[in-house]
Structure 1
Amino acid sequence: MRVLMISWEFPPVVVGGLGRHVHALARELVVAGHEVVVLSRAPTGSDSATHPTVVQTVDGVRVLRVAEDPPHLEFGADLVAWTLGMGHGLLRHALTALLPGWRPDVVHAHDWLVAHPAIALADVLGVPLVATLHATEAGRHSGWLPGPMNRQVHSTEWWLARRADEVITCSVAMHDEVAALHDLDPAGVHVVHNGIDVRRWRSRGSAPGPATATQPGPRLVYFGRLEYEKGVQDLVAALPRIRRRHPGTRLLIAGTGTQRAMLDERVATHRVRRSVDFLGHLPDAELTALLRAADAVVLPSRYEPFGIVALEAAAAGATLVASTAGGLGELVRDGETGLGFAPGDVAGLADAVGRALADPRAARRRARAARARLRTEFAWPVIAARTAAIYAGARAAGPRELPRPKIPTGNLFDRQS
């Protein structure tokens, strides 16, 4: 099949796990014999002079990287306007530089940010539209849509989900969430997990900076985006309790995000400044070494559609302690492939970490079980085959005019109970 994937991130433009997912999926589909073109963007804040539109081939995947248009729009300050501008640029370049000589059999949209160009192209070409919803706006805010922008994003998600001929989610938790929030028949929503390439995480290099220090005591590692829904503030709050049971425990935080200042405040409030190191963004080799050197990798998310970081930690052979939020509860099986605790439960988090540190032998056994599971359920050839089967079964229903969704007041998750 000829597949046109549309994604707002694709390496080296990476914001979170979505970009890596699209890259790996596209590459594996090519290995399986499909022809894949990815329509994506240049880095935020660039323009056609610094980063002109180019067509490249990456791992057998043809990538059309579209330059940002001239208007001064900022991702953080003008999210919806910026997204519309990006969508216009993607659509214009697809029509002029790609489609005159090439026609896809299916359009695959990844998340709400590419809803406009994906729907337009599927409508114009008359081909099936497949949409993967990697997260929801309501989910990021624990069921609430507190402001106009949140409601705008939610309604765009609804539009994409309702217009798509097939909808894919990355976990059972996301399947239920998406079906309920967007009024979809649950039987028509597919679950296809994210995958992992275990070979990428075999590095045996030395860990960076503070992780190689000689201070005695266990090392806890968090890696990922520094955002409120990731729950790092709960891990910081639990650290004093953990240190009372396991003196000298240090917390190493790898990643960047909008909540760094808040986390600095929490570190000061809980008086653990000397026990916490912020490492920022780490190259893959250094991150792998850091994970391998950890006594436990802790993933305290309050909201997590899937949790690809759990797969990455398992691939590195790390001991996993994770909340049961969303997809994490499916990936980290308590007592089997790691230890779990309820999202936001600081005491439960501290207890789970304490149990992991108290019995290293059992922790290593769980880590081996987690890594072994990656080669069956989460291997990219399996993920690509499932996705290709959805493509093959998709039928184009054609353009549809949909009304604006009615957005209930209050917590949207209350409607699901």
Structure 2
Amino acid sequence: MDAVAAFTDTYLPTVNGVTYTVKTWRDTWLARGGRMDVVYPGSDDYGPDDGEFPVRSLPFPFYEGFRLGMPRIPDDVENVDVVHAHTPFALGLSGLRLARREDLPFVTSYHTPTGEYAAYLTSITSVEDRLEGLSERYERWFFDHADTIITPSAVSKRYLLDTVGVDADVTVISNGVDIDRFSPVDAVSFREKYDLSGPLVGYTGRHGFEKCLGDVVDAVAEADIDATLVFGGDGPARESLEQRAENRGVDARFLGFLPREELSAFYSSLDAFLFPSPVETQGLVALEANACGTPVVGVDSGALADTVDDGVTGYHFAAGDVEGFAAALRRTLAERERLRANCLDRREQISVDHAVDELADIYERVR
């Protein structure tokens, strides 16, 4: 199998969708006998394994948990067949430089629409719009250097082609889910540990303002259901979510970051997973929930328009429509058993093994 050098601006110990994808793809690639080196921003909180190469990094002041890696190529990254950049920024530029220097195929993954995060840098609308425009022009320049671009959904592919305006080959490959890890489990002990009972609905992931998680609280309040709302994860929006739940009279529990080994029990304990974020390029947690047999109530915007199969693995609602969100939640709970069976039937289709099969085909095609 090919020797691959992967460059990413986010990796362990930070836990997010990009980190999960890079790590699971790498683990699967290694298990198949291949080599996939990873170059990432170093942190004192994570010691690298063989083939993981941290570079000097600094904390990014506008986005908690993100670090800026210095754009360099470690000397030990050599004799590779393909360069794969999971970011268009600092370390992505290092990957591009390596590909050019060694005349290697250059593959990129489009994980995050960077223009969506301009609000973290300024609250001035005109400046935010300008930053979004600059971001799209930069992305167009970077991605046009790729032999192919991988996106996790058809929506993100259309965004790259129509909004960013890239002039390169774009291929859709789902990030995939480790279905050995994410599968239905008996959640009784999980419920007992966190003192949870009765019907549960919830979300886990980063509590970022861009994810519109306040709509979750409002929808549960409007739905008038006998269920506890459970949040896993943490982030800058947590305090406002706690206050919102108190103001709306919603029984909400905030569990904080959960150990990865508890996530299957978290998903399995839920009657519905609630996901209003319009900024996802795939929404991996929605697929993890489905793999555990939990239907998703997701916004009909961004990648979730594709990730959630309406009426099959969950239901959609229009962005910002809290009443529609509440109605979709009530319908999902009413059809819980049918939707659960559909989710379980699709486990192989959303597996990381299936994703890596397609990734191997991409590497072979660009060589």
Superposition TM-score tier, normalisation by shorter sequence: 0.7 to 0.9
State the Cα deviation string for residues 288-333 of structure 1 (Å, max 9, x = none): 2222122211112222210111111112222322222222222221
SS in structure 1 at match of 2:289: helix
* 1:130 alignment partner in structure 2: 107
Structure with greater Cα Rg: 1
* 1:87 alignment partner in structure 2: 70
SS in structure 1 at match of 2:84: strand
Per the TM alignment, residue 173 of structure 1 is displaced from its structure 2 partner at its CA by 0.1
Q: Give the counterpart of 2:195 among 212, 220, 231.
A: 212
Report the Cα distance in structure 1 between the residues aligned to 2:111 and 2:255, rounded to whole angstroms. Answer: 27
Q: Give the counterpart of 1:251 among 207, 229, 246.
A: 229
Ranges in structure 1 where 5+ consecutive residues have no aligned partner: 396-417
Report the Cα distance in structure 1 between the residues aligned to 2:249 and 2:132, rounded to whole angstroms. Answer: 35
Q: Is the 8 A contact 1:197 1:380 kept in 2?
A: yes
TM-score under structure 1 length normalisation: 0.78
State the Cα deviation string for residues 237-289 of structure 1 (Å, max 9, x = none): 1222222xx2x3221111111222332343344343xx111111011233322
Counterpart check, 1:74 vs 2:59: yes
Report the Cα distance in structure 2 between the residues aligned to 1:351 and 1:145, rounded to whole angstroms. Answer: 37
Q: Is the 8 A contact 2:115 2:131 kept in 1?
A: no
Report the Cα distance in structure 1 between the residues aligned to 2:139 and 2:247, rounded to whole angstroms. Answer: 38
* 1:351 alignment partner in structure 2: 327
Aligned pairs (5 A) from 1:9-408: 9-10=10-11, 12-43=12-43, 46=44, 56-57=49-50, 62-68=51-57, 73-77=58-62, 83=68, 86-88=69-71, 91-92=72-73, 94=74, 96=75, 98-99=76-77, 102-113=78-89, 114-140=91-117, 146=128, 153-185=135-167, 188-202=169-183, 203-205=185-187, 206-208=189-191, 212-214=195-197, 217-243=198-224, 246=225, 248-272=226-250, 275-357=251-333, 359=334, 362-376=335-349, 378-394=350-366
TM-score under structure 2 length normalisation: 0.87
Q: Is the 8 A contact 1:207 1:287 kept in 2?
A: no
Report the Cα distance in structure 2 between the residues aligned to 1:29 and 1:6, rounded to whole angstroms. Answer: 15
Q: Provide closer, same or farther for how the CA distance between residues 337 and 371 of structure 1 changes in structure 2, counting only shifts above 3 A.
A: same
Per the TM alignment, residue 104 of structure 1 is displaced from its structure 2 partner at its CA by 1.0
Q: Is the 8 A contact 1:8 1:41 kept in 2?
A: yes
Report the Cα distance in structure 2 between the residues aligned to 1:375 and 1:271, rounded to whole angstroms. Answer: 40
Report the Cα distance in structure 1 between the residues aligned to 2:115 and 2:151, rounded to whole angstroms. Answer: 15
Identity %: 27
Q: Provide closer, same or farther for how the CA distance between residues 373 and 189 of structure 1 changes in structure 2, counting only shifts above 3 A.
A: same
Report the Cα distance in structure 2 between the residues aligned to 1:307 and 1:25, rounded to whole angstroms. Answer: 17
Report the Cα distance in structure 1 between the residues aligned to 2:270 and 2:353, rounded to whole angstroms. Answer: 29
State the Cα deviation string for residues 351-375 of structure 1 (Å, max 9, x = none): 0111222x2xx31221121122120
Report the Cα distance in structure 2 between the residues aligned to 1:331 and 1:77, rounded to whole angstroms. Answer: 29
2:28 corresponds to which letter in structure 1? Answer: E
* 2:122 alignment partner in structure 1: none
Q: Provide closer, same or farther for how the CA distance between residues 109 and 136 of structure 1 changes in structure 2, counting only shifts above 3 A.
A: same
Per the TM alignment, residue 87 of structure 1 is displaced from its structure 2 partner at its CA by 2.9
Report the Cα distance in structure 1 between the residues aligned to 2:217 and 2:195, rounded to whole angstroms. Answer: 21
1:6 corresponds to which letter in structure 2? Answer: F
2:148 corresponds to which letter in structure 1? Answer: E
Ranges in structure 2 where 5+ consecutive residues have no aligned partner: 120-124
Per the TM alignment, residue 55 of structure 1 is displaced from its structure 2 partner at its CA by 5.6
Q: Provide closer, same or farther for how the CA distance between residues 379 and 385 of structure 1 changes in structure 2, counting only shifts above 3 A.
A: same
CA RMSD of aligned residues (A): 2.8
SS in structure 1 at match of 2:165: coil
Q: Is the 8 A contact 2:41 2:70 kept in 1?
A: no
Q: Provide closer, same or farther for how the CA distance between residues 210 and 239 of structure 1 changes in structure 2, counting only shifts above 3 A.
A: farther
Aligned residues: 357
SS in structure 2 at match of 1:112: coil
**Stretch deviating more after TM superposition (294-303 or 26-35):** 26-35
Per the TM alignment, residue 34 of structure 1 is displaced from its structure 2 partner at its CA by 2.5
2:190 corresponds to which letter in structure 1? Answer: A
Report the Cα distance in structure 2 between the residues aligned to 1:77 and 1:196, rounded to whole angstroms. Answer: 30
1:370 corresponds to which letter in structure 2? Answer: C
Q: Is the 8 A contact 2:152 2:282 kept in 1?
A: yes
